[in-house]
Structure 1
């Protein structure tokens, strides 16, 4: 059983999940959803994280959920390059909020500031890479079906030093046409070369597409939970 609590911290709508018997500051995982949905979409994953002993924090990305843009559907339906530019702008805004969310969770004595991680899927995976580059206090990061590569340059792809300081797991799908695995695969190769002692893992699930089959998603979540338990204790 999981206790859910909706609240706003640092001006950001959150959905907190934890076990009923969990008390005091907990190791925390911020969870970011995909383009066009919201924090409520991932109650199942938040419950899994809570059951593993974490304070699971579902975050409404900028322009989503409780602060949804009135024309978000139209923006999603725009030509691919235009829709991607919209998404990247919202990713940048969302990632910039992460340090304030972490501070607010610590101030409320909800999260152990020394054991905070981040995870996200699709658009949320983009947020993970960028937030890891701008929030040095994060201990662990899991990017699911995301990319560190932004159109027209920029983005976290060049922030190897920052990415090398966090325990980084990337999970991609071999046959993902929406977010091809090449960029994440290349990032991990570059990390291994530039920072041989960096804590990192790259998993490319054979045959997996962006809208993963159930078995593939179970594998992705098993990898996620194992990584976060290992690096957040």
Structure 2
């Protein structure tokens, strides 16, 4: 049974949905949001969406605020290292996109998504959004952020690392790159170490992994493994039944 894809708007957010079999069955099995990196779009990760969809999920790529179909007209000026406010611009995008997640989930549930089988993932910028979204909407049961950090570069009260008590019982699997020159892996590593006591009653719901030989642009084999394992993690903790081949 081949993968099917469609473009739609979910609560005003441009989205690309990928699933195997009927839309209704995939939504019932479980839905996962996937957010792309800085400068990307929902189409950039269509292959990754397919990996999640192959596990039976209704996989949805979203254009981050200021990207893709709603790209800022001055995107290049906002996100250049010459802009002294580039960190603020980045975190504004993180917060604005995460704040849309409740309405996006509402739209998915209205389409038929199982309200207790909702997950999130994303890479780089998308991983930052994933961490923040867990604090914005408690319906998210599982998260698999990649090459991202729960600790922000600016001392803002919204930074996820300041709210450890709000993560359990979310099944959280963070994957980083040991040679990452953009997002240092120690930030997620330290965060997970601080979370461990809060997950003592269900330690299997917390996992951290680092790929020691990859930088921010991960080696292809490492990236493929990370995406496969992220998809398996989401399926495991949403208790998703497998779609027919």
Q: TM-score range by the shorter chain?
A: over 0.9
* Aligned residue runs from structure 1 range 130-169, under 5 A: 130-154=132-156, 155-169=159-173
Whole-Å separation in 1 of the counterparts to 2:37 and 2:4: 23
Match status 1:14 vs 2:5: no
Q: Residue deviations 1:97-137, cap 9 Å, x none? A: 1111111110121x111100000000000001000111111
**Superposed CA offset, 1:7-59 (max 9, x none):** 11211111111113453433000000001111010010111111110000000
State which of 179, 186, 190 in structure 1 corresponds to 2:183. 179
Match for residue 117 of structure 1?
Answer: 119
Which residue of the partner structure matches residue 3 of structure 1?
Answer: 4
Q: Which runs of 5+ in 1 are unaligned?
A: none
Distance 1:70 1:78 in 2: 17
C-alpha RMSD over aligned residues: 1.4
Query: What are the ranges of 5 or more consecutive residues in structure 2 without an aligned counterpart?
Result: 240-245
2:77/2:83 contact within 8 Å kept: no
Find the aligned partners of 2:223 and 2:153 in 1 and give their Cα distance: 27
Matched, 1:217 2:236: no
User: Which of residues 214, 234, 237 is equivalent to 1:231?
Assistant: 237
- Say if 2:91 is the partner of 1:88: yes
Task: Please report how far the alpha carbon of residue 221 of structure 1 lies from its aligned counterpart in structure 2 after TM superposition.
Answer: 1.2
- Contact 2:19-2:56 at 8 Å conserved across structures: yes
TM-score by length of structure 1 reads 0.95
Maintained 8 Å contact 1:33/1:124: yes
Measure, in 2, the Cα distance between the counterparts of 1:223 and 1:101.
Answer: 25
Aligned partner (choices 42, 47, 51) of residue 44 of structure 1? 47
Q: CA deviation at 1:194?
A: 3.5
Q: Taking structure 1 as reference, are residues 81 and 210 closer, same or farther at Cα in structure 2, changes over 3 Å only?
A: farther
Alignment: residue pair count = 232
Residue deviations 1:127-164, cap 9 Å, x none? 01000111111110011001011123221111112212
**Does the residue aligned with 2:214 lie in a helix, a strand or coil?**
coil
User: Matched residue of 2:32: which SS?
Assistant: strand
CA contact (8 A) 1:28 1:117 kept: yes
